[in-house]
């Protein structure tokens, strides 16, 4: 009897952690963007050392990086031992891993009774860390930029749509 109670005491928290988590998170993102500074174009004519002539033209652009803040929304799903995150396209740098449906897999996923923690890959260099407090609903994503906000649970197919 005593061993059954001890086993039940350990099984209840594990069962509570095994439930699926579906979140919509709203907050502010601070990201770096390329901003066009100038566009340069040039054309002309010239001659080579063989007596021939040629024309040339070329153009290019100069960009700078700036930090921008914007209100955004992300989605997080944790089902079983796996998880995924859907981030806005505006966060993506020019060189990024493409996804079929916009969802990125969470790696190093750890779910406890107080937090959800994981990483996701944007490209071969950029792997932001996601931390969600299960007590307050607060989310922080830190990578090249930062996202901070609050999360609300939803149930796919059950939670009513707003329109």
Chunk the chain into consecutive blocks of 10 residues (it has 163) and report each block's average pLDDT, rounded to whole numbers.
Answer: 40 53 95 68 72 72 73 94 92 86 95 96 94 97 92 89 81
| pLDDT score for 53 | 75
| Residue whose tokens read 């996701």 | 120
DSSP H or E run through 3: helix 2-18
| Token pair belonging to 137 | 């609903």
| pLDDT score for 38 | 67
| pLDDT score for 7 | 38
Domain spans of the chain, in order of start:
19-32+68-153, 36-65
The total of other beta-carbon atoms located within 10 Å of residue 137's CB is 14
| pLDDT score for 120 | 96
| pLDDT score for 33 | 66
DSSP H or E run through 67: strand 53-79
| Token pair belonging to 50 | 């063989």
| pLDDT score for 2 | 46
| Token pair belonging to 1 | 């009897």
| Token pair belonging to 147 | 């996202």
The total of other beta-carbon atoms located within 10 Å of residue 23's CB is 19
| pLDDT score for 45 | 72
The whole-angstrom separation of Cα 78 and Cα 115 is 12
């Amino acid at each position: 009897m005593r061993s059954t109670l001890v086993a039940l005491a350990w099984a209840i928290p594990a069962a509570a952690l095994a439930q699926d988590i579906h979140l919509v998170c709203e907050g502010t993102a601070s990201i770096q963007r390329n901003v066009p500074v100038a566009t340069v174009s040039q054309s002309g004519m010239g001659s080579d050392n063989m007596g021939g002539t040629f024309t040339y033209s070329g153009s290019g652009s100069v960009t700078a990086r700036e930090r921008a803040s914007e209100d955004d929304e992300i989605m997080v799903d944790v089902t079983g031992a796996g998880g995924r995150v859907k981030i806005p396209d505006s966060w993506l740098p020019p060189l990024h891993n493409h996804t079929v449906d916009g969802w990125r897999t969470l790696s190093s996923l750890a779910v406890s009774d107080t937090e959800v923690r994981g990483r996701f890959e944007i490209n071969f260099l950029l792997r932001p860390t996601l931390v969600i407090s299960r007590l307050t609903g607060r989310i922080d994503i830190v990578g090249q930029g930062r996202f901070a906000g609050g999360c609300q649970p939803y149930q796919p197919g059950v939670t009513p749509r707003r329109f």
